[in-house]
A and B are shown apart, each in its own frame.
Chain A
Amino acid sequence: MKEQSYLYKVRQGVRNLQYEKYGPLIALVVLIIVSSFASPYFLKVRNITNVLRQVSYTGIIALGMTFVIIAGGIDLSVGSMTALVGGIVIILINHFGGGLLAIMIAVLAGVLMGMAAGAFNGLVITKGKVAPFIVTLGTWGMFRSLTLYISGAGEFRSTSRIYPQLGMGYFLRIPIPVWIMIGLAIIYSIILNHTRFGRYVCAVGSNERVAAYSAIDVQKIKFFTYMMVGLNVAITSVLLSSRLNSINPTTAGSGFELDAIAAVIIGGTMLSGGSGSIFGTLIGAIILGIVSNMLNLLGVSPYLQGTVRGLVIIGAVLIQRQRG
């Protein structure tokens, strides 16, 4: 009898947990525990930092994507955009001689390029009133084709010796891209939860008409979310190209759009928009990273990884459905 009531309490406790808030975190903890038993290498510092670095590229994009999705949109062009911006950054670095100043100019230009590319998406979506899915599907093709055209089908290769230090470097034993991802997550979380822009993004995603009647400039808000993604893509492009000191016009960034969208959804943000969580997205990205890492460590065929990730994404959406 006593045991029963204890069990009952545990069950009640489990039932009362706010899954919406803590679901992704619980999933992450469970995943880490399972992984550490499954492979002795998993918890090695080197492995963990590698996973986090790998995660940071799509993770940074996913942070921006969270805003787009909360506002009721989607951006499929981020992968191709990564390649395009990365390629141009490398061309500029080479053009200006590969020194520190060259890198600074190229990075700044890259950031502006990314924002301009995002602005282009945003402009067509808001002014042209075309569905975001269609617009960004179009630019997904355009950006990749432009990258290939500019590269002349060869690889973009930087001649700079110091550029790789940015993407390869560590600070306090943690890779620089990871620091940047965490820093951005903190800033974006504040923007989402504590600024007017964040509130308006949620309002637009929750009900566009109510937002318009409430004197919110709906189109402007949407436009800015796409520009934000562009900015984040540019940051990823720089980190990725500096890590490799090159960009492959065919493969660089390919599939990033799926990973970024998946991270947002696994993190608990509804695809229908209206609300979401930046830290959820961060956790979602890490979950995806650990899943890939485990599959590698366990020697699962790389060809099957897509299947497993696909199942994780579908599973996350199914759980969301049940909550709703």
Chain B
Amino acid sequence: MSKTLIETEEIAKEFSGVRVLDDISVEIEKGEIFGIIGENGAGKSTFIKILNGIYEQTEGKVVFEGDEISMDPFTAQQVGISTIPQEFNLIDHLNVYENIFLGQEQQKNRLLLDKGKMRQRTKELMEDLQTDVPPDARIGDLSVAQKQMVEIAKAVAYESKLLIMDEPTTVLTRNEIQVLFSLMERLTERGVTIIYISHKLREVKEICDRVMILRDGEFISLDRTDQLTEHEMANRMVGRELNQMFPELTEPGDEKALEVKNLSNRNLLQDISFDLRRGEILGFAGLVGAGRTELAETIIGLRSKISGKIIVNGEEKEIKRPRDAVDNGLAYLPEDRQATGILTDFDLPSNVTLISLSKYIRWLLIDHGKEKKQTRRYIEEFNIRTPSIDAKLETLSGGNQQKVSLVKSLDTEPNIFIFDEPTRGIDVQAKMDIFNFINELVRSGIAVVFISSELEEIIGMCNRVAVMREGEITGILSGDEISEEKIMYHATGLEERAV
């Protein structure tokens, strides 16, 4: 029996004459975890979309278990190729087990759905994943991380030979990632092959056997991960020497920009108090569901509070609606840019000025020229890559969409900027751009709240770190106290066992 599961021979893909993937030849072995890394636009997604039959290659061939195969999505499913997509493919109105068995419902008496069996199987799958998502929960009520677990369970339920994971860990916490990794190892022991795409080089090094690096559609290298450092990976991805990921920390000022006192809401938040100085970056760490996003949304008036004070620049402010927050110099970059950050069917200027539109009004009418002028400045300043200024946002890559989302909040000229998972799903270069941008903000005296599930980012970027657990702040760390162990201790309430 051959060791190779799937093989590509000089496959290439062109879109209207532009070569986005150039002569890639690799052999992926049975039971291995095969990593693919590269910046946005490097061709990773195109590559896997050829493997799972969404795209047809322009040149070359795909050989699956020794046979050349003309792949389409149906064939892919037939031969046992499943993909966990970057964007969720779940139906909000249905519950967990209905989603998992969507399209292959179990029946009894050939007529009625066997709900009991599907529930039972879902429960087993979830136990396998060590998640406590109940089979009857509505998808719409789940957190992003829980939805991710459902996606993974769905793929596992299909008994795949090849499992393609596109950025599966972006929304997961460290614990959840560890659960996922041990599940991946168990799957490979059963002979399942996994293709793993990620921006997180440390994870790639940890879990993958081999890693292929792509850049601008071209094959750069394929090595065993134990023969490559993270630094080497990053350099090969970008094609030049990367020096430092995080800009140097700056010394915050003395004046308090924001004070939150004894804030509680009806749902999760209990007695939250913290303060934030001008020019300071205060990180918020915690597990998914700890209430960090809820806190941010309560501060800016998207959710109502039942008690507590919000003091901006020494004055107590009544913030009841998002507009009040904007008027008081607070800006918020939401965590889910597709759902809450940008209007994908609007062009750049209308997105950029959406919050700050009153600045562009003359005699009751929108000054379109001024909108465009300002947008052009931002495009240049933030190196936003777009086909044209009138392009709809859906045509931009994730990183560039994120920059537009950021610029949109920035255009309100805030004094306090709350970032919620600002680097989710974007490539190394765009991440560094955003870190540098945040650094420039604090240098100009703006106070920053930095919510992230990436401990590395939190540790690298923040002056102080507040850790939340179940709606409460369990610790505020500063200086040398900021370490992974301390953060995890406060986030979980347990001494972290060796992970």
Contacts and interface: CB of A to CB of B under 8 A. Distances in A.
Contacts of A212: 302, 322
A214 B408 contact: yes
Nearest to B337: A210
A207 to B, nearest CB: 6
Contacts of A275: 345
> What size tier do the contact residues of chain B reach?
20 to 34
A196 B345 contact: no
Contacts of A196: 357-358, 361, 366
Contacts of A207: 339, 343-344
A207 B345 CA distance: 9
Contacts of B323: 215, 217
Given A203-B343, A206-B346, A207-B343, A214 B355 contact: yes
A273 to B, nearest CB: 10
A202 B355 CA distance: 14
B237 interface: no
12 contacts: A194-B365, A195-B366, A199-B357, A206-B346, A207-B339, A210-B339, A210-B342, A210-B343, A213-B302, A213-B340, A215-B323, A215-B325
Nearest to B412: A215
A16 B366 CA distance: 29
Contacts of B326: 215
Contacts of A211: 343, 354
B332 interface: yes
Interface string B397-437: 00000000000100000000000000000000000000000
A131 to B, nearest CB: 15
A209 interface: yes
Contacts of A202: 346, 350
Contacts of A203: 343, 346, 350, 354
Interface of B: 302, 321-323, 325-326, 332, 334, 339-346, 350, 354-355, 357-358, 361, 364-366, 368, 408
A167 interface: no
Interface residues of A, number: 21
A244 interface: no
B342 to A, nearest CB: 7
Given A207-B343, A217-B323, 11 more contacts: A190-B365, A196-B366, A203-B343, A203-B350, A210-B340, A210-B342, A210-B343, A212-B322, A213-B322, A214-B355, A216-B354
A195 B343 contact: no
Contact of B332 (A194, A213, A216, A274): A213
Contacts of B350: 199, 202-203
A209 B302 CA distance: 10
A217 B302 CA distance: 11
A124 B365 CA distance: 30
Nearest to B327: A215
Contact of A213 (B341, B358, B364): B341
A28 to B, nearest CB: 26
Interface string A178-198: 000000000000100011100
Contact of B345 (A190, A206, A213): A206
B365 A195 contact: yes
Contacts of B332: 213
Contacts of A216: 354
Contacts of B368: 194
A206 B339 CA distance: 11
A215 B358 contact: no
B343 A194 contact: no
A214 B356 CA distance: 9
